[in-house]
Structure 1
Amino acid sequence: YPHMSVADNMGFALKIAGVNKTDIRAKVEEAAKMLDLTDYLDRKPKALSGGQRQRVAMGRAIVREPQVFL
């Protein structure tokens, strides 16, 4: 989602699922820390490198706590 910040990108699916904002923020921050994206949470995807964009995509999956991650 190019018009959203990294944090909003990572938390978007949770927002759609009706998760409260406090839980979304906690999960996004945890995933960002895991993926070394903490410094980039306020940036838009176009301001990131290709590798950082890939990590954002992984973060979108991680915050949903999937049973399997391929």
Structure 2
Amino acid sequence: YPHMTVAENMGFALKIAGVNKDERATRVLEAAKLLDLEPYLGRKPKALSGGQRQRVAMGRAIVRQPQVFLMDEPLSN
């Protein structure tokens, strides 16, 4: 979502699911730490490198706490 910040992007699915704001913030911060995205949480996607954008996409999945991840060439360019 190009009009949202990294933090908003990562928490958007949780917002739609009705997760409260504090829980969303906690999950987003935990995923950002895991993916080394903390310095970029306030930035828009267009300000990120391709690799950082991929990590944001992974963060969107991580915050939802799925039981399994299915990835199709997640590290390819």
**TM-score bucket of the superposed structures, by smaller chain:** over 0.9
Does 2:15 correspond to 1:15?
Answer: yes
1:41-60 matches, within 5 Å, as 41-60=41-60
Does 2:26 correspond to 1:26?
Answer: yes
Quote the sequence identity (%): 80
Unaligned runs of 5+ in 1: none
Q: Please give the per-residue CA displacement for 1:25-67, whole angstroms capped at 9, x wherever unaligned.
A: 0000000000000000000000000000000000000000000
TM-score by length of 1: 0.99
Root mean square deviation of aligned Cα: 0.3
Larger Rg: 2
Name the counterpart of 1:69: 69
Unaligned runs of 5+ in 2: 71-77
Letter in 2 for 1:29: L
Higher percent of residues as helix: 1
Report the Cα offset of residue 68 of structure 1.
Answer: 0.5
